[in-house]
């Protein structure tokens, strides 16, 4: 079936009648993952602020927040606008803001009548924000970004700039310094749980340390935000934190599986593909999910080189088919090497498979919607907000 993105989704159909490639989301698995993480947050007495960069979908966000419709994280201002317009409040845009984006922030805030929570780690941006706010009347809510060891965004918690930035912001009219945040992106760089536990503790102590720097001079620090899927799952203490931000856990993927963060049967996302060719000279099947439908991300392969660009599964049952994987991708072709010719009979041209993706975020980003599966029936079509 051709799913015209312009048309409403009216039919209840089975997976076998879908056209391909299609991004499939298993509702049961999504709900299980979301529920498990919400429960852990409750047990730890901490707010879970899901990072919606993975799903970019209001419907997924409703599941992730358990209907709370508040306190979410986004990776683009376009997402911030979309989720705020979909009714979500307390939206954190977790990429360092720069002055050339102030106009867009102001437009969003005017449209949705709420402030977007922004992050910064730079004196000049703080100074420019104060000037901009004075000139335009635009309100800003900020967190200061702390570098807990990944050395991407942020400044060290003991860097004198933490206080310098804070002092610029606290006295400015229309500006609220709400707290501090960090992200241990390097927690994805290991498959050793002991090492993740250490990184989680570094993440916690660095951002809690920064909050103490502020409070010691009488600057309030309402929000102390950290988090990634691995550090939330394996962190031993959340003391001093007010919230954790995790993203990929809603879908999981083979990159997380390769690091021991999830089981294969937790992975909620897959790409439905059709076998479009048999190349008997090369001993390969070709499917219509290639570099675009799967992405060229190979995050899993450090720990599981056999993942290639994804594992091949039965389209209906999601059981893995032998050890088949997608070994090579071109724009719209994926190449699946086979060990023996019986696969040509088992997977004739025109038959369908599902591919468990290497990394859920980039795989999903090529698709503008999800096909929602519930007990193997297609029940909905959920849009995504891609791009910038």
Q: Which of residues 259-278 bind its own copies (CB under 8 A)?
A: 274-278
Q: CB of 24 within 8 A of CB of 270?
A: yes
Q: Which two tokens stand for residue 364?
A: 């999903």
Helix axes 102-112, 123-136, angle to 10 degrees: 50
Return the range that interacts with its own copies (CB under 8 A); candidates 149-157, 215-223, 309-317, 375-383. Answer: 149-157
∠ Cα 283 273 318 (to 5°): 95
Q: Which two tokens stand for residue 351?
A: 């038959």
Which listed residue (330, 346, 376, 377) binds its own copies by CB under 8 A? 330
- Name which of residues 199 to 238 contact its own copies (CB under 8 A): none
Q: CB of 310 within 8 A of CB of 254?
A: yes
Least distance in Å: CB of 26 to its own copies?
Answer: 20
Which listed residue (31, 86, 266, 332) binds its own copies by CB under 8 A? 332
User: Which of 239/341 has CB closer to its own copies?
Assistant: 341
Least distance in Å: CB of 280 to its own copies?
Answer: 8
User: Which of 108/313 has CB closer to its own copies?
Assistant: 108
Return the range that interacts with its own copies (CB under 8 A); candidates 84-92, 103-111, 199-207, 224-232. Answer: 103-111
**Coil/strand/helix, residue 159:** coil
- Name which of residues 349 to 388 contact its own copies (CB under 8 A): 349-350, 352, 361-362, 365-368, 386-388
End-to-end Cα distance, the chain: 30
Least distance in Å: CB of 14 to its own copies?
Answer: 12
Give 45's DSSP letter.
T
Q: Does 320 help bind its own copies (rule: CB under 8 A)?
A: no
User: Which of 17/43 has CB closer to its own copies?
Assistant: 17
Which listed residue (59, 90, 147, 202) binds its own copies by CB under 8 A? 147
User: Which of 7/113 has CB closer to its own copies?
Assistant: 7
Q: CB of 158 within 8 A of CB of 211?
A: no
Which listed residue (5, 67, 173, 218) binds its own copies by CB under 8 A? 5
Please count the CA atoms within 13 angstroms of the CA of 109 that sit on its side-chain side: 21
Least distance in Å: CB of 358 to its own copies?
Answer: 10
Q: How do 310-314 and 320-325 pair as beta strands? A: antiparallel
User: Which of 40/141 has CB closer to its own copies?
Assistant: 141
Helix/strand/coil percent split, the chain, to 5: 35, 25, 40
Least distance in Å: CB of 195 to its own copies?
Answer: 19
Residues in CB range of 91: below 8 A, 6 or more apart: 72, 73, 74, 80, 83, 84, 114, 116, 117
String of contacts with its own copies for each residue 165-194, x by CB under 8 A = --------------------x---------
- Name which of residues 274 to 313 contact its own copies (CB under 8 A): 274-279, 281-282, 284, 286, 288, 291-293, 295-298
- Name which of residues 112 to 131 contact its own copies (CB under 8 A): 121-122, 124-125, 128
Extended strands (E) in the chain: 13-14, 22-26, 47-48, 70-74, 89-93, 117-120, 140-146, 175-182, 223-226, 243-244, 269-279, 284-287, 310-314, 320-325, 328-329, 334-337, 352-357, 369-374, 377-383
- Whole-number Å distance between alpha carbons of 363 and 253: 10
- Name which of residues 37 to 96 contact its own copies (CB under 8 A): 53, 75-77, 95-96
Q: Which two tokens stand for residue 273?
A: 């593909």
User: Which of 13/69 has CB closer to its own copies?
Assistant: 13
């Amino acid at each position: 079936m051709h799913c015209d993105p312009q048309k409403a989704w009216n039919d209840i159909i089975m997976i076998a009648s879908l056209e391909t490639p299609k991004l499939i989301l298993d509702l049961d698995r999504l709900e299980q993952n979301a529920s498990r993480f919400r429960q852990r947050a409750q047990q730890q007495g901490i707010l879970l602020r899901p990072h919606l960069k993975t799903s970019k979908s209001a419907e997924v966000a409703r599941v992730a927040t358990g209907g709370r419709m508040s306190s979410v994280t986004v990776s683009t201002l376009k997402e911030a606008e979309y989720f705020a317009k979909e009714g979500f409040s307390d939206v954190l845009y977790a990429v360092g803001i720069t002055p050339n984006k102030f106009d867009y922030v102001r437009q969003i805030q005017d449209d949705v009548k709420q402030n977007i929570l922004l992050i910064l780690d730079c004196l000049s941006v703080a100074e420019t924000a104060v000037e901009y706010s004075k000139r335009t009347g635009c309100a800003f809510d900020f967190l200061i970004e702390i570098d807990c060891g990944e050395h991407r965004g942020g400044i060290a918690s003991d860097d004198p700039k933490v206080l310098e930035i804070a002092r610029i912001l606290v006295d400015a009219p229309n500006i609220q310094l709400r707290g501090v945040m960090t992200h241990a992106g390097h927690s994805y760089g290991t498959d050793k749980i002991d090492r993740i536990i250490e990184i989680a503790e570094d993440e916690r102590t660095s951002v809690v340390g920064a909050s103490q720097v502020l409070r010691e001079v009488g600057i309030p620090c309402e929000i102390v935000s950290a988090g990634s899927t691995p550090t939330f799952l394996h962190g031993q203490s959340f003391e001093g934190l007010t919230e954790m931000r995790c993203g990929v856990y809603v879908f999981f993927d083979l990159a997380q599986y390769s690091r021991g963060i999830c089981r294969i049967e937790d992975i909620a996302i897959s790409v439905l593909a059709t076998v479009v060719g048999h190349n008997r000279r090369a001993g390969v099947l070709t499917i219509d999910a290639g570099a675009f439908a799967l992405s060229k991300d190979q995050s899993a392969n450090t720990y599981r080189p056999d993942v290639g660009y994804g594992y091949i599964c039965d389209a209906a049952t999601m059981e893995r088919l032998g050890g088949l994987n997608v070994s090579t991708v071109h724009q719209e072709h994926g190449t699946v090497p086979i060990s023996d010719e019986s696969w040509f009979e088992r997977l004739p041209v025109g038959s369908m498979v599902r591919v468990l993706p290497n990394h859920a975020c980039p795989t999903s980003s090529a698709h503008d919607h999800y096909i929602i599966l519930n007990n193997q029936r297609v029940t909905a079509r959920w849009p995504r907000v891609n791009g910038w």
